[in-house]
Amino acid sequence: MKTLFFSILALNLFLYKTAVDAQAVQAPVITGEKVKDTDGNFINAHGAGVLYHNKTYYLFGEIKKGKTWLVPGQSWEDYRVPAGGISCYSSKDFKQWKYEGVALAAVKGQPSHDLDTSKVIERPKVIYNSATKKFVMWMHIDANDYSYSQAGVAVSNNPAGPYTYLKSVRPNGQMSRDMTVFKNDDGKAYLIYSSEDNNTMHVCLLSEDYLAPTTKYERILVGRRREAPGMFKNEGKYYLITSGCTGWSPNAATYAVANSPLGPWKEQGNPCVGPDANTTFQSQSTFVLPLEGKKNAFLFMADRWNKQNLEDSRYSWLPMQVVNGKVFIPWKNNKS
Ligand code: DGJ
């Protein structure tokens, strides 16, 4: 038993060292610094997702601006800022970011509208539908107390927008909170969301135009209370990184592996290695970007929330590797 334990430990250390040594990875590293766009303004794109289209990266995120307040009467730290809509930035090299403007604007003074500033508009993710030639944005739409729990969808002819908001839904009548979208290499796309009051995640196949959920969905990570999903594919396997549910406070990430987006999914451990690995380096996952032209190399994108001053929340972008089917996010200090 003891020998087996030490063999597994030695193997993991070897795999980790291989991962750290993988000099091929040239990803930008951000560990909580403020990041400026090419106009010199700070990038305001939280809960972000990235679309890579025609050799350009498009970064979409929540605009967080204004004074943070605590929603009264909640049993958890429900800190909010007015919903600010969705921003878009573009880049050729993932380093220089040009502000493309507001991709999806919030609306003012229409409390029953999904995009009203009094609502929650979070975690936008955009994919391209090559059949309809439309860019499709999915996002989490909610009320201040997170009881609405819907997935919103918007569409545009241009990657940077502006996007036209269509509607929000509860896929198959099920709650949908933290979410992401994954486009497979066969052209099928999936909505992945925290459902059942955050207890269980669902993966739902989207319609061919990507504008609606289908009735084909699976319950995954049942009873595990996971959120902040980021899905990716590597060498025929699918990976899903998630966080636990602790509001704006960081916790340990874990990942799961499957042979198909609909599962079954098998939980693995925490992919983070190094100081603060048990808080995902003080951050929460939002997206995993495959690094173009690199094998087994990804950028792990996360938010370092500042719950009492949400507009001052920061980002964490760290290189991530998959080595022999295992995911590693080694700590990398930007300043060293
Ligand atoms: C954690 C989620 O991941 C965030 O997107 C946000 O909804 C906060 N909870 C709110 O507390």
Chain segment 251-265, per-residue pLDDT in tens:
999 999 999 999 999
From residue 123, alpha-carbon distances to 48, 56, 178, 230 in Å are 6, 20, 7, 11
Q: In this structure, are residues 124 and 179 in contact, taking their beta carbons and an 8 Å threshold?
A: no
Q: Does the bond joining 264 to the residue before it have cis omega, within 30 degrees of 0?
A: yes
Looking at residue 276, its pLDDT comes to 96
Chain segment 7-56, per-residue pLDDT in tens:
444 444 444 444 444 433 366 899 999 999 999 999 999 999 999 999 99
Ligand 1 site-directed mutation target among 123, 138, 243, 310, most atoms within 8 Å of CB: 123
* 144 CA to centre of own chain: 20
* Bridge partners (DSSP) listed for residue 230: 241
Tell me which CATH homologous superfamily contains domain 19-330: Glycosyl hydrolase domain; family 43 (2.115.10.20)
Looking at residue 335, its pLDDT comes to 62
Looking at residue 20, its pLDDT comes to 42
Give me ligand 1 centre to Cα 228, in Å: 8
| Residue spans per domain, the chain | 19-330
SS (H, E, C) 259-322: CCCCCCCEECCCCEECCCHHHCCCCEEEEEEECCCCCCEEEEEEEECCCCCHHHCEEEEEEEEE
User: Which ligand 1 atom lies nearest to the CA of residue 307?
Assistant: 11
Tell me the whole-structure pTM to 2 decimals: 0.92
Protein residue with least CA distance to atom 11, ligand 1: 247
